[in-house]
């Protein structure tokens, strides 16, 4: 069954505790938390103090997606704030292998995210060291964008490689996931669906989560 990770970027920040309660009561598996620094991506979202407070609201997995430069400077702080999974961008890491080890040594599951232009082959040398590959299906920085179709081929290629190697690395797909394209994304080989607008702008977010979960 698919893992559903609603992105709180699309939630109502003025009612954040209600949104957390809603997710707790829903079939959502993970809380996807998007951190943007205004350098790696052209937008600024939220950071450590917000994640620290969200942590007190849930026992579900906190999946932190760092869209920041020099993520190694903050890995320990995100651990302290309560991250279970810490995902860094390959494009932001000059020493990716070292960064992955740092995240694991801190006691978190390491994830690596790839921008739409980055080939999945770039990850093959670290595939067995990481828990999650986050394939960006939009250019990171904003919620509510359109799914980029060539992502499907990247998911297929990566899934074949992971299965060939017998790894249990999970493929997470992030950006532009809708009720209409979710099944195709899962069929291509994704394990985890991140959905922001599709969940939080739905008439009933809980029902949307449950419908996605059933796919």
Q: Does 157 bind ligand DX5 (CB under 6 A)?
A: no
Structure tokens at 207: 């029902």
The reply to whether 65 sits near Zn ion by the rule CB under 5 A is yes
To the nearest whole angstrom, how small is the minimum distance from the Cβ of residue 198 to ligand DX5? 6
Which single residue brings its beta carbon nearest to Zn ion?
Answer: 65
Please, which of residues 17-36 interact with ligand DX5 by CB under 6 A? Answer: 32, 34
Interatomic CA distance for residues 176 and 173, integer angstroms: 9
How far from chain centre, in Å, is Cα 178? 15
Q: Which of 18, 129, 174, 211 is catalytic?
A: 174
Q: For residues 147 and 180, give the distance between their C-alpha atoms in angstroms, rounded to a whole number.
A: 11
34 tagged catalytic = yes
Question: What are the start-end ranges of the H helices in 3-120?
Answer: 16-25, 48-55, 75-81, 96-105
CA-to-CA distance for 131 and 111, rounded, in angstroms?
Answer: 6
CB of residue 162 to ligand DX5, shortest distance in Å: 21
Residues classed as catalytic: 34, 174
Interface with ligand DX5 (CB under 6 A):
7, 9-10, 32, 34, 65, 138, 140-145, 174-177, 194-198
């Amino acid at each position: 069954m698919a893992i559903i990770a609603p992105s709180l970027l699309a939630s109502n920040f003025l009612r954040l505790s209600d949104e957390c309660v809603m997710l707790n009561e829903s079939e959502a598996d993970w809380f996807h938390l998007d951190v943007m620094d205004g350098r790696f991506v052209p937008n600024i979202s939220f950071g450590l103090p917000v994640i620290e407070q969200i942590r007190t609201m849930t026992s579900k997995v906190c999946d932190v997606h760092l869209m920041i430069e020099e993520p190694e400077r903050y890995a320990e702080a995100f651990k302290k704030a309560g991250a279970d999974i810490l995902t860094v961008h390959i494009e932001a890491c000059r020493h990716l292998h070292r960064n992955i080890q740092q995240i694991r040594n801190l006691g978190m599951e390491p994830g690596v995210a790839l921008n739409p232009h980055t080939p999945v082959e770039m990850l093959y040398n670290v595939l067995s060291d990481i828990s999650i590959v986050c394939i960006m299906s939009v250019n990171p920085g904003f919620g509510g964008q359109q799914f980029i179709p060539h992502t499907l081929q990247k998911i297929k290629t990566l899934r074949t490689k992971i299965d060939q190697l017998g790894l249990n690395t999970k493929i997470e797909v992030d950006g532009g996931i809708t009720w209409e394209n979710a099944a195709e994304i899962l069929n291509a080989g994704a394990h985890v669906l991140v959905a922001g607008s599709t969940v939080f702008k739905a008439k009933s977010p809980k029902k949307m989560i449950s419908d996605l979960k059933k796919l």
